[in-house]
């Protein structure tokens, strides 16, 4: 049974990326998943429920875990690792992330699903923990805003070569630039 659920989720991601939430239909998702529409409804009851499941799964898988593991790192390294990991994920999943930002901006995602807010809140909590462990007296919200801005700008302003395809040296140059900017605010 889990295979059908995963099949539906993968299909929903594809359809939502292509058409967005409002223009997608459960019939299209069921067809893409190669399941009966009634199977989709049995598992998710509504298109909204399916959409929320897809988003929560995507956000949990990509953005919420590692930041807390990095809290012990030196501050420059902490910022660099956060940026590297998130830029990598965003560039590899650009279409999904772009759809999430777009749906957030149109007001279709609220609360714990609003993509920029989820990113900001996760960053703020992780940065706050890091600052506490490192005895840094700075506002974590300011740094969370800056990093969220960097990440969202990388979704909206697509580079010719995606971040994940850059060489190690090219990535490091970008990370050094962003990290220097963040460290200047301490």
User: How does DSSP assign the chain, residue by residue?
Assistant: -HHHHHHHHHHHHHHHHHHHHHH--HHHHHHHHTS-HHHHHHHHSSHHHHHHHHHHHHHHHHHSSHHHHTTTS-HHHHHHHHHHHHHHHHHHTHHHHHHHHHHHHTT-S-GGG-HHHHHHHHHHHHHHHHHHHHT--S-HHHHHHHHHHHHHHHHHS--SS-GGGS-HHHHHHHHHHHHHHHHTT-
Statement: residue 102 has pLDDT above 90: no
CA 112 to chain centre: 12
Length of the chain: 186
Contact 92, 47 (CB under 8 A): no
Q: Would you place residue 67 in the very low, low, confident or very high pLDDT band (cuts 50, 70, 90)?
A: confident
> Quick one: which of 65, 61, 69, 68 has its CA closest to 97?
61
The rounded distance, in Å, linking the Cα atoms of 113 and 55 is 7
Give the mean pLDDT of the chain.
89
Domains and CATH numbers, the chain: 1-54 (1.10.10.60), 64-186 (1.10.357)
Q: Would you place residue 55 in the very low, low, confident or very high pLDDT band (cuts 50, 70, 90)?
A: confident
If one compares 111 and 10, the residue with the highest pLDDT of the two is: 10
């Amino acid at each position: 049974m889990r295979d059908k659920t995963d099949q539906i989720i993968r299909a929903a991601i594809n359809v939502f990326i292509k058409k967005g939430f409002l223009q997608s239909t459960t019939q299209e998702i069921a067809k893409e998943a190669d399941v009966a529409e009634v199977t989709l409804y049995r598992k998710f009851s509504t298109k909204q429920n399916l959409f929320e499941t897809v988003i929560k799964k995507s956000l949990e898988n990509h953005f919420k875990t590692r930041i807390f593991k990095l809290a012990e790192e030196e501050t420059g390294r902490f910022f660099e690792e956060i940026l590297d990991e998130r830029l990598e994920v965003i560039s590899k999943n650009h279409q999904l992330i772009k759809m999430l930002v777009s749906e957030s901006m149109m007001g279709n995602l609220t609360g714990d699903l609003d993509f920029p807010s989820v990113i900001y809140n996760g960053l703020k909590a992780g940065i706050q923990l890091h600052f506490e462990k490192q005895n840094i007296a700075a506002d974590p919200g300011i740094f969370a805003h800056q990093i969220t801005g960097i990440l969202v700008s990388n979704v909206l302003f697509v580079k010719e070569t995606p971040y994940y395809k850059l060489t190690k040296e090219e990535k490091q140059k970008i990370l050094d630039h962003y990290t220097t900017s963040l460290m200047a605010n301490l």
